[in-house]
């Protein structure tokens, strides 16, 4: 598995950005994946960055086992939404610019069926949001413990939520949020089901931060008859819990059985 760290000036964000990229190794000791590579764009959570993700989770191992390239930007606590008045267009950056720039730099597939988005917590929200906003780009979305309703974080501060001023700075008033483009419950319930990417949602059974949000989002999907796969596991809103989701998520993205490698001819791992 090769590792690259690239830096470039983003037109969407009007600042320099850093992105890390894991790519499968080729040859007898590496993956049997061949370019152009299937790719996962993986979004870190609130207060996190790609350094914390790759330090605490076995992303590199899963990328090699499943034969996938992983591209991981930093999120800057911005929920991966657009603020054109601030030159901070994170949704456009994720769904357009990052795709174009990394495809120019690396041997990545430009096919929708080979392009996926995933994320943790705030990054799970960003993956679900941009997965449907850019449904012509992404064919699969995987969300680890996603913050599917940021308003709930405000109304339940005991769960680690942020304050009213921070929410207003990010999303505006509650009415603006609920009726605007960043409300993913509204987006998924009103979308044509034929355009919605394949969905994977995972959450711990004692997740103090987003358990109520995930239940609400699943109810919305069920009511709207939007198919998804759910992976529930014992755990809280932490890396130990997310580590349990890695193989199921990356197997889902790669389209292979859980516990197997990237080639279907290779037997499941012991």
Strand partners, 116: 40, 140
User: What are the distances in angstroms from CA 150 to CA 31, 147, 172, 192, 213?
Assistant: 39, 6, 12, 24, 8
Least confident interval from 13-22, 24-33, 129-138: 24-33
pLDDT score for 264 = 42
Rounded Cα distance, 128 and 238, in Å: 19
Rounded Cα distance, 206 and 33, in Å: 37
Rounded Cα distance, 70 and 23, in Å: 7
Q: Examine the pLDDT at 29 and tell me if it is beyond 60.
A: no
Taken in order 224, 228, 233, 236, the sign of the CA dihedral is: negative
- Please name the residue that has the structure tokens 């600042």: 15
Rounded Cα distance, 239 and 154, in Å: 23
Residue with the bigger pLDDT between 19 and 168: it is 19
- Helix/strand/coil for 215: helix
**What is the secondary structure of 96-142 as a DSSP string?**
IIHHHHHHHHS-B---GGGEEEEEETHHHHHHHHHHHHTTTT-SEEE
- Please name the residue that has the structure tokens 């991966």: 80
Rounded Cα distance, 263 and 269, in Å: 12
- Please name the residue that has the structure tokens 């990356």: 250
Structural domain spans, the chain: 2-254
Q: Examine the pLDDT at 72 and tell me if it is beyond 70.
A: yes
Q: Examine the pLDDT at 243 and tell me if it is beyond 70.
A: yes
pLDDT score for 166 = 82
Q: With pLDDT > 70 as the criterion, what percentage of the chain qualifies? A: 92
Rounded Cα distance, 256 and 116, in Å: 15
Rounded Cα distance, 85 and 89, in Å: 9
Backbone angles phi, psi at 23, to 5 degrees: -130, 140
- Is 2-254 in CATH node 3.40.50.720? no
Which structure tokens are listed for 61?
Answer: 């191992």
Q: Do 60 and 22 touch, CB atoms closer than 8 A?
A: yes
- Helix/strand/coil for 189: helix
pLDDT category at 157 given cuts 50, 70, 90 is: low
Summarised one tens digit per residue, pLDDT across range 186-198 is: 999 999 999 999 9
DSSP 191: S
What angle (nearest 5°) sits at the alpha carbon of residue 155, between those of residues 150 and 161? 60
Angle subtended by helix axes 59-66 and 239-254, to nearest 10: 20
pLDDT score for 75 = 85
- Nearest CA to 126 among 179, 189, 81? 81
Please state the pTM of the whole predicted model. Answer: 0.94
Q: Residue 36, preceding bond cis, omega within 30 degrees?
A: yes
């Amino acid at each position: 598995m090769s590792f690259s760290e690239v830096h470039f000036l983003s037109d969407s964000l009007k600042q320099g950005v850093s992105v890390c990229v894991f790519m499968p190794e080729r040859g007898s000791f590496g993956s049997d994946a061949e370019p152009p590579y299937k790719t996962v764009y993986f979004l870190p959570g609130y207060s996190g960055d790609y350094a914390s993700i790759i330090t605490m989770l076995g992303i590199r191992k899963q990328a090699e086992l499943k034969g996938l390239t992983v591209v991981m930007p930093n999120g800057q606590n911005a929920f991966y939404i657009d603020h054109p008045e601030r030159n901070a267009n994170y949704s456009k950056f994720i769904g357009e610019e990052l795709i174009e720039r990394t495809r120019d730099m690396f041997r990545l597939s430009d096919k929708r069926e080979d392009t996926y988005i995933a994320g943790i917590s705030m990054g799970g929200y960003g993956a679900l949001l941009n997965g449907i906003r850019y449904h012509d780009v992404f064919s699969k979305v995987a969300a680890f413990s996603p913050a599917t309703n940021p308003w709930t974080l405000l109304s339940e501060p005991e769960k680690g939520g942020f304050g009213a001023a921070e929410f207003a700075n990010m999303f505006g008033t509650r009415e603006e949020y609920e009726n605007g483009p960043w409300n993913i419950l509204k987006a998924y319930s009103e979308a044509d089901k034929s355009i919605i990417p394949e969905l994977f949602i995972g959450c711990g059974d004692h997740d103090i931060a987003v358990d109520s949000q995930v239940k609400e989002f699943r109810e919305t999907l069920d009511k709207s008859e939007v198919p998804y796969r759910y992976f529930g596991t014992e755990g809280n809103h932490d890396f130990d819990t997310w580590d349990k989701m890695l193989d199921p998520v990356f197997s889902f993205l790669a389209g292979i059985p859980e516990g197997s490698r990237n080639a279907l001819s290779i037997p499941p791992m012991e």
